[in-house]
Structure 1
Amino acid sequence: MTSSLARRQLLGAGIALGATALLAGTAQASPGTAGSWPTEFPLPNGWGPEGVAIGAGPYAYFGSIATGGVYRAGLASGKGKVVHRGLGRQTVGLKVDAWERLFLAGGSSGELRVVDARSGALLANHAIGGEGSFVNDVLVTRDAAWFTESFGARLYKLPLGKQGRLGAPQTLELRGDWVQSGFTANGIALTPDGSALLVTNAAADGGSLMRVNPRTGVTRKVDLGDTTLPSGDGLVLIGRTLYVVQPNVNQVDVIRLNRSGTKGTAIRVIRDDRFDLPTTAAAYKGRLYLPNSRFTTPDRDENTPYDAVSVPLV
């Protein structure tokens, strides 16, 4: 979820759209290699995308702030369909796991939701955030789904047991270097060695990356030198390379981390003329896929067009 300008619109229910999204055809694989796949494709009008997730197969899932629904697009064709109509409440960040379940961050509803990616059935819904909450983004690891809370110094954990069995939600309070001021936490990823969590923090030193101990909540600022992340949003880690989406400046910062995630060096910035406030990203076969949120577009309604674009990985 992007910061400042867009948040005021979101939290004030600025996207008051109808609950029915445009249905496109079922996604089908098309001939050719991944290099010939579309690098730009439409999402349903009025969708209000924010999060994106890609699993093992060539399908991208896009959440809707407008309806809370989920749209699945085939990366080979760019065509898709709505697989979950939503509850009429926001879906912000989302991730898919090995059991083809979607973990949805419920935004201002304060909910952690789990949906069957094939049938669209709601499998679990935990209203853990409470009034004034904003459950923003989610990361799925081997043993848990972790959710960021933007209006409080805490993370939410949904444990995953054997065969992915869902446990009861837990709260991890953040301390140490964590700075909380208004809308603060955003994207979340693992460190390269898998020992800790990385979370963007809009309040600390002009925009920072924080390393969180998942057992204690102790947080330390990642040393990025002179690099700041004032609108750091979605995070994608590939090996030791971290991609940080910054929607307010229409760019993706590329950072090379050490194994433990305590230090990083900015190595490149990705910009593209097609970017229109992309908020999050997911990677597949050498490309990064990003939904354009269009948060600053005036008079957005059920007819507003949306799309997703892809760029090569560094």
Structure 2
Amino acid sequence: MRRSTQNSGKVQRRAAIGFIALMALLLPASPATATLSNCESVIVLDGATSAEGIAAGEGDTFYAGDLALGDIYRGDIRKGDAELFIDVSDFVSAPRNAVGMKADVRNDLLFVAGGPGHAYVYNTETAKPVADVVLTTSPASFINDVTLTRNGAWFTSSAAPELYFIPVGTTGELGAVETLPLSGPAADITGAFNLNGIASANDSRTLIVAHSGKGELYTVNPATGESALIEGVSVENVDGIVVQDDQLWAVQNFSNQISRIELSDDLSSGELEDVITSKDFNVPATAALFGDTLAAVNAQFMHPEDTRFEVVLVPARS
């Protein structure tokens, strides 16, 4: 059954309590003032009660999630619209979290980081659930983001010094979960909020992870878990990241900006190239790249008075 708007609000308030309490542990800097008015358009997620993750699908299609309910919206950046695509109350009685997400276009799968210990996988052709995967049974876990490589999906946890991997076969079949303990600077979990965004680089041979508490980026060897600091990069309030070739975009939520960084060939260092802002940013959390356009979703953390959730389109280069 589809939720009524009234019932959605009641469920959201219950489901959001735990996440809001977690976010309250953060000590964000004062929001930076967005100085550029380069927003091309805003796409409203009509009916959403919260937001955080976004993923690029086939062509101009994007997927975005309702953070506290787990519902998935599907939209088109060219048409400028979006609608409810997956209502989790159609197949489970309790709401889910939908944090970071990535679309496996080849296999018609959407991988969603599910907050407390879980990952969710949906079929983007049928809008049906494929799997509810338990990545960890730790009660303190928070599965925050996901990236895809040639062989499967990697997930971060903001409360544990490890990554989780779900192998994906050539026809889309899912394998057993593997846990990768981290070593080096990425293993530091002394902050209130630690590993967050994740992306693959170097033809899937290297992972890049963002550390929200430290405002740093690290490379991770997916075979050994060894990590190293990407020198010369400071990204306060970093959340989701996007990587294409030698370019990295770091979404800085409470700073209301996205930094574009040029990475060195060996990924050991980076240099700030652009700071992308918009008058329509309202604590953007994650972004997806469509050619020369970034689609960033406003999470609006700590802004309970704002009840309309949007995807903001900005140029990928200022």
TM (norm. structure 1) is 0.83
Which structure 2 residues correspond to residues 235-314 of structure 1 after superposition, within 5 A?
A: 235-299=241-305, 304-314=307-317
Which of 82, 85, 99 is residue 92 of structure 1 equivalent to?
Answer: 99
Query: Counterpart of 1:59?
Result: 61
Query: Counterpart of 2:130?
Result: 123
Query: Do the aligned partners of 2:150 and 2:204 also contact (CA within 8 Å) in 1?
Result: no
Query: Counterpart of 1:134?
Result: 142
Task: Output the CA distance in 2 between the equivalents of 1:192 and 1:276.
Answer: 32
Query: Counterpart of 1:25?
Result: none
Query: Counterpart of 2:194?
Result: 184
Query: Counterpart of 1:199?
Result: 209
Structure 1 residues 238-273: Cα deviation after superposition (integer angstroms, max 9, x where no partner): 221100000110000111002331111111111111
Identity of aligned residues (%): 33
**SS of alignment partner, residue 280 of structure 1:** strand
**SS of alignment partner, residue 164 of structure 1:** coil
Task: Output the CA distance in 2 between the equivalents of 1:247 and 1:45.
Answer: 22
1:256 counterpart letter in structure 2: E
1:219 aligns with 2:227: yes
Which of 230, 236, 246 is residue 236 of structure 2 equivalent to?
Answer: 230
Query: Counterpart of 2:37?
Result: none
Q: Cα offset for 1:84?
A: 1.2
Task: Output the CA distance in 2 between the equivalents of 1:190 and 1:11.
Answer: 32
1:144 aligns with 2:152: yes
48-57 or 245-254, which deviates more = 48-57
Which of 170, 175, 192 is residue 167 of structure 1 equivalent to?
Answer: 175
Query: Residue 306 and residue 211 in structure 1: after superposition, are their counterparts in 2 closer, same or farther (change >3 A)?
Result: same
Task: Output the CA distance in 2 between the equivalents of 1:162 and 1:152.
Answer: 30
Structure 1 residues 49-106: Cα deviation after superposition (integer angstroms, max 9, x where no partner): 1000012221110011121010001222222322211251101011101222100100
Q: Cα offset for 1:290?
A: 0.6
Task: Output the CA distance in 1 between the equivalents of 2:202 and 2:304.
Answer: 40
Task: Output the CA distance in 2 between the equivalents of 1:257 and 1:278.
Answer: 23
TM (norm. structure 2) is 0.82
Query: Do the aligned partners of 1:93 and 1:105 also contact (CA within 8 Å) in 2?
Result: yes
Query: Residue 51 and residue 120 in structure 1: after superposition, are their counterparts in 2 closer, same or farther (change >3 A)?
Result: same
**SS of alignment partner, residue 113 of structure 1:** strand
Q: Cα offset for 1:297?
A: 1.2
Task: Output the CA distance in 2 between the equivalents of 1:248 and 1:294.
Answer: 9
Query: Counterpart of 2:26?
Result: none
- State the aligned residue count: 277
Query: Do the aligned partners of 1:40 and 1:310 also contact (CA within 8 Å) in 2?
Result: yes
Which consecutive residues of structure 1, in runs of 5 or more, have no partner in the other structure? 1-8, 16-37
1:105 aligns with 2:105: no
Which consecutive residues of structure 2, in runs of 5 or more, have no partner in the other structure? 1-14, 22-39
Give me the CA root mean square deviation. 2.0
Query: Do the aligned partners of 2:201 and 2:245 also contact (CA within 8 Å) in 1?
Result: no
Query: Residue 100 and residue 187 in structure 1: after superposition, are their counterparts in 2 closer, same or farther (change >3 A)?
Result: same
Which structure 2 residues correspond to residues 19-98 of structure 1 after superposition, within 5 A?
A: 39-86=41-88, 87=92, 88-97=95-104, 98=106
1:154 aligns with 2:162: yes
Query: Counterpart of 1:24?
Result: none
Query: Do the aligned partners of 2:46 and 2:82 also contact (CA within 8 Å) in 1?
Result: no
1:92 counterpart letter in structure 2: V
1:184 counterpart letter in structure 2: N
Task: Output the CA distance in 2 between the equivalents of 1:197 and 1:124.
Answer: 24
1:198 counterpart letter in structure 2: I
